[in-house]
Structure 1
């Protein structure tokens, strides 16, 4: 095995990789831009505790940066060569994250989106567990993400029940 792939990358190469992780995490928001909430969502019955729309952008921006730093910290422990399983789990949850908006807003299927967000939650949990074995801070950086997705799952389920 190539020793340079199995050891942490030199610091001078890490910052561009961090930028790559940030761009990748923010790229998972592109489907949300293609399928924005729109009139359908505005017309749904929402619970009293539904956050104002302006909250979602800053929350997701913060979470995407934290997710990127988390993946970068794990990547630094040998790159994909040594951390293939953990980073693959991260990428799987990122794809599931990106899939939610088309299901909920695009197809207008809160029930399907609810099932998908439960899969996303499980994928995030698996990623946290995997990251914890490699880099504890990387795992902890994902805790606000799973907390927000937990809230989003509860909200999604509530919207599904309020709007049969």
Structure 2
């Protein structure tokens, strides 16, 4: 029951973060600035982002529910807070402020943090850590898209 309650809590937090990030980017992907950029040939169509983030946040919330049962330390809470801030702020930095290099730094930090979750924080979660794989893959793709925009614009 504790796992279920924590998962629900993290679903609210994580989807709330997506909503805040979406609001902060101010229609970023539809703006003239973004549509006129040289974008990577592997940039997915817009609908893929919604599907991907929905799956990612469901998996991540289940993982976090398990992780916080096993380790409810202050360190873990700070790591989660840092991850949350990086995830939400990237939208604002990249799409709203057009700070492509700073966006790349932000997403590299976020990606590194997810790998840290996977390799260092997941000792007690057994196979739950594999719920991070969609998030890790997506962040690698997103990092490559951000890098492409930086190099080719």
Same fold (TM > 0.5):
yes
Say yes or no: does 1:31 pair with 2:31.
Answer: no
Alignment root-mean-square deviation, CA: 1.6
> Which residues of 2 match residues 78-157 of structure 1 at below 5 A?
80=72, 83-157=73-147
* Structure 1 segments (4+ residues) deviating >6 Å: none
- Cα deviation, residue 87, structure 1: 4.1
> Which of 54, 59, 63 is the aligned partner of 1:70?
63
Q: Secondary structure at the match of 1:69?
A: helix
Equivalent-residue separation in structure 2 for 1:53 and 1:90 (angstroms) = 27
Q: 1:16 — aligned with what?
A: 5
| Bigger relative contact order, structure 1 or 2 (CA pairs below 8 A, ≥6 apart) | 2
Contact 1:90–1:124, Cα closer than 8 Å, also in 2: no
- Pick the structure with greater CA Rg: 1
Say yes or no: does 1:41 pair with 2:30.
Answer: no
- Cα deviation, residue 131, structure 1: 3.1
Q: Secondary structure at the match of 1:47?
A: coil
123-132 or 102-111: bigger deviation: 123-132
Equivalent-residue separation in structure 2 for 1:100 and 1:62 (angstroms) = 19
Q: Which 5+ residue runs of structure 1 have no aligned equivalent?
A: 1-10
1:87/1:71 CA distance change after superposition, 3 Å: farther
